[in-house]
Structure 1
Amino acid sequence: MPDGGGRSVLEGAFALLGAVERIEEAGLTRLAAECGLPKTTAYRLLEQLVELGAVERSRRGYRMGPRIFRLGQGWQPYPGLRAAGRAPARRLARITGASVGLNVLWEGQTLVLDWTPGEDGGVLGRTLDGRAWPWFTAAGKVLVAGAYPRLPLGPLPGSWRREAEAIRELGVAFDREDVAAGVCCVAVPVHGPHGAPSASLSVVTDPAHSLDRLVGVAQQTARTISAALRGR
């Protein structure tokens, strides 16, 4: 059934959800304009989304609701990836005291699929589930370097080919405060049932720690996760 703007009701509702995600919080007039919907249609759909818990009313209009957050937490690009990674990642966090992330590439970004805060607290101890970072974090680089066919990321730096070869040869990528001050990272690939990198395991710490000493235990943990994925 089309709505007042010529779209189906489902298309209109998803357009509004997309607008709320982009803007984060906005009133009816702006959301209707963003989606090309009549205000009456936008209001009706938004109120239905409120009833479902997909969006919620706020002082400035509407924002994303808790049900979308809960549904999003269940998303994973490969079956069993979260389940296979959770226990090994938590064990790695206990052993190293660092924060550990399980990450995937999605639409040219590094998406943190699961996050285990370490003992270091502060910015490194915050929960980062669902956060998206540029592909050129260590967690993204180790996936881009092993991707085949080449991912559509646009023009790559001239030095990338040599860097990618080193990452493939060593099986690890490093981030020494390259993306954020005070944040360092070791990332290794997690291989899926067919042998291609399906995800990356990242160990995130501060500059006071030696990244080289984290490589072996990170790679062993990644092998454990990879074996569990193959077992499925």
Structure 2
Amino acid sequence: MLKGAFELLAAMDRTRGAGLTRLSVESGLPKATAYRLLEQLIGLGAVERYADGYRIGSRMFQFGNGWQPHPELRATAAEPARRLAAVTGAAVGIAVLRHDQTLVLDWAPGATAPFTALRNRSAWPWYTAAGKVLAAAPEYRFPPSSVPASWPREGRAIRESGVAVDREILTPGVCSVAAALYDASGTPVASLFAATAPAHRPERLADVVRRTSAAISARL
């Protein structure tokens, strides 16, 4: 039943909420089973019922917001990220790479960065700067079908420079630069990124992002 409950939650995430029939089809569960599990999940606060169907509940949001790949990551990165945003005017955030998606954990708005269009998107493609700098690590393994032919060369360049850059990949008017954050064993656990307008040339932020990430890593 636990596997079925997660299948339903995944179906709700894909559909952004749906009725019983569609969730049954999406999850591969019989309608009666799906209904029984949904009622149990509602009782636990993990699912909420609306007029148009079911959606993921607020309790799942609370659980998700507490997750981090390192127990001290959020607390350690918060003040350096805030200072970086204040000094550069860029929007600064912390992200991780999971299942070939860039997941944004926290961010600090900058004075000039056009980050408003992205603030409600918590999952980005892996090929943003924040994802690429983690995907370039030798230990990261893509699914075989998802590796672009140009990636080995780009990955080497990222490892040599210590930063990754993207230009208006997510939305027009937003570019970003990122560096990896490492734990005490030297394993990359997250990335620090700074998002700014193309006119501000994200490459100019590379050095300060690299130095800030090194300072955070030293404290992890």
Structures share fold, TM-score greater than 0.5? yes
Q: Aligned letter for 2:100? A: G
In structure 2, the CA distance between the partners of 1:30 and 1:158, relative to structure 1 (3 Å rule), is closer
Cα distance in 2, alignment partners of residues 176 and 130 from structure 1: 17
Q: Aligned letter for 1:224? A: A
Cα distance in 2, alignment partners of residues 165 and 38 from structure 1: 48
Task: Find the counterpart in structure 1 of residue 80 from structure 2.
Answer: 88
Deviates more, 1:176-185 or 1:88-97: 176-185
Q: CA RMSD in A?
A: 2.1
The alpha-carbon deviation at position 108 of structure 1 amounts to 1.3
Task: Find the counterpart in structure 2 of residue 215 from structure 1.
Answer: 206
Q: Aligned letter for 1:92? A: L
Q: Does the 8 A contact of 1:115 with 1:129 survive in 2?
A: no
The alpha-carbon deviation at position 34 of structure 1 amounts to 2.9
Alignment partner of 1:25 is 2:17: yes
The alpha-carbon deviation at position 41 of structure 1 amounts to 3.3
Q: Mind listing any 5+ residue stretches in structure 2 that lack a counterpart?
A: none
Cα distance in 2, alignment partners of residues 12 and 205 from structure 1: 42
The alpha-carbon deviation at position 127 of structure 1 amounts to 6.6
SS in 1 for 2:32: helix
User: TM-score, normalization: structure 1?
Assistant: 0.85
Amino-acid identity (%): 55
Task: Find the counterpart in structure 2 of residue 177 from structure 1.
Answer: 168
Alignment partner of 1:40 is 2:32: yes
The count of residues paired between Structure 1 and Structure 2 equals 219
The alpha-carbon deviation at position 201 of structure 1 amounts to 0.7
Cα distance in 1, alignment partners of residues 29 and 3 from structure 2: 11
Task: Find the counterpart in structure 1 of residue 142 from structure 2.
Answer: 152
Q: Mind listing any 5+ residue stretches in structure 1 that lack a counterpart?
A: 1-7
Cα distance in 1, alignment partners of residues 67 and 141 from structure 2: 21
In structure 2, the CA distance between the partners of 1:225 and 1:38, relative to structure 1 (3 Å rule), is same
In our comparison, the structure showing a higher alpha carbon Rg is 1
More contact order relative to length (CA 8 Å, sep ≥ 6): 2
- Tell me the alpha carbon deviations over residues 186-207 of structure 1, each in whole angstroms, 9 at most, x when there is no partner: 1111121111322111100111
User: TM-score, normalization: structure 2?
Assistant: 0.89
